[in-house]
Amino acid sequence: MSTILIVPGLQDSGPAHWQSWFEAQLAECVRVEQGDWNTPDLPRWAGTVRQQIDRAKGHVWIVAHSFGCLAAAHAAWDYRERVAGAMFVAPADPEKFGVSAIVPTEHLGFPSVVVSSTNDPWVRLMRAAWLADNWGSRFINIGAAGHINADAGFGPWPEGLLIFEQLRRTQADLPLGQLGGGNERALNHARRGRARKDQIRRELAVWNELKGESI
């Protein structure tokens, strides 16, 4: 058994949002309800996510959007033994909210994917890639897709659902810490992680040379 936590961003995700569509497609979904959807209080939001992880049945999968990504990453850092994986879509730039100092900057300890776009007003593509690099996440750039929300045309989102299902298949619904297999498996995972981070750094270097920007 597992639970899928839907973690919206500011102002919640309305009925036309892809997160609401996900809820209709997937069993065992629980939406994380914030007390104040309009105030981006990261410690408070993360605390609400932690409460839902505590209440969840079985292993926990997280599907987060925008500021909800920051809250989910902040909360899940303390629950690596419970979290099977996370999908972070259009994560907001921590600097825009003054929370860079309290957002995790290390591998989260479970499989994850960051999905971003080239014209998101809430985060530059390279900043999203930087978050993915820090968190040990797979990084997916889906092109000019805005903030990947209802306003950008993302209601029913089969491609996003496919990304999530692929993530779930990577660990067969088991948290990373419980996969077993001894030191060799852990060593192979670490090698893959280093290779992925090296690849991202190379891509970032090329991008910065082309754009003349730094993260």
125-155 residue pLDDT tens: 999 999 999 999 999 999 999 999 999 999 9
Contacts for 59 with CB less than 8 Å, ≥ 6 apart: 1, 2, 3, 82, 83, 84, 173, 174, 175
Per-residue confidence (pLDDT) for residue 214, from 0 to 100: 35
Average pLDDT over residues 51-75: 97
Per-residue confidence (pLDDT) for residue 170, from 0 to 100: 79
Cα–Cα distance between 15 and 70 in angstroms, integer?
22
Nearest in space to 196 (alpha carbons), one of 129, 150, 142: 129
Contacts for 78 with CB less than 8 Å, ≥ 6 apart: 50
Nearest in space to 91 (alpha carbons), one of 79, 83, 81, 99: 99
Where are the chain's structural domains? 2-178
Say yes or no to pLDDT of 195 above 90: no
User: Which ranges of the chain would DSSP assign to H, the alpha helix?
Assistant: 18-25, 42-55, 67-76, 125-135, 158-171, 182-211
Query: Residue 26: exposed, middle, or buried by beta-carbon count in 10 A (0-12, 13-18, 19+)?
Result: middle
Average pLDDT over residues 186-198: 48
Cα–Cα distance between 71 and 50 in angstroms, integer?
9
For residue 152, give the DSSP letter.
Answer: G
Q: In which band, very low, low, confident or very high, does the pLDDT at 179 lie, cut at 50, 70 and 90? A: very low
Q: Give per-residue pLDDT as tens, 5-21.
A: 999 999 999 999 999 99
Say yes or no to pLDDT of 98 above 50: yes
Cα–Cα distance between 9 and 194 in angstroms, integer?
30
Higher-pLDDT residue of 213, 144: 144
Which strands make up the sheet holding 59-65, listed edge to edge?
29-31, 2-7, 59-65, 83-89, 112-116, 138-141
The number of C-alpha atoms within 13 Å of 153 and in the hemisphere containing its C-beta is 3
Per-residue confidence (pLDDT) for residue 149, from 0 to 100: 97
Q: In which band, very low, low, confident or very high, does the pLDDT at 202 lie, cut at 50, 70 and 90? A: low
Per-residue confidence (pLDDT) for residue 164, from 0 to 100: 97
For residue 3, give the DSSP letter.
Answer: E
CATH number of 2-178: 3.40.50.1820
Per-residue confidence (pLDDT) for residue 1, from 0 to 100: 80
Higher-pLDDT residue of 115, 207: 115
Calculate the average pLDDT of the chain. Answer: 86
For residue 157, give the DSSP letter.
Answer: -
Q: At residue 115, what are phi and psi to the nearest 5 degrees?
A: -110, 125
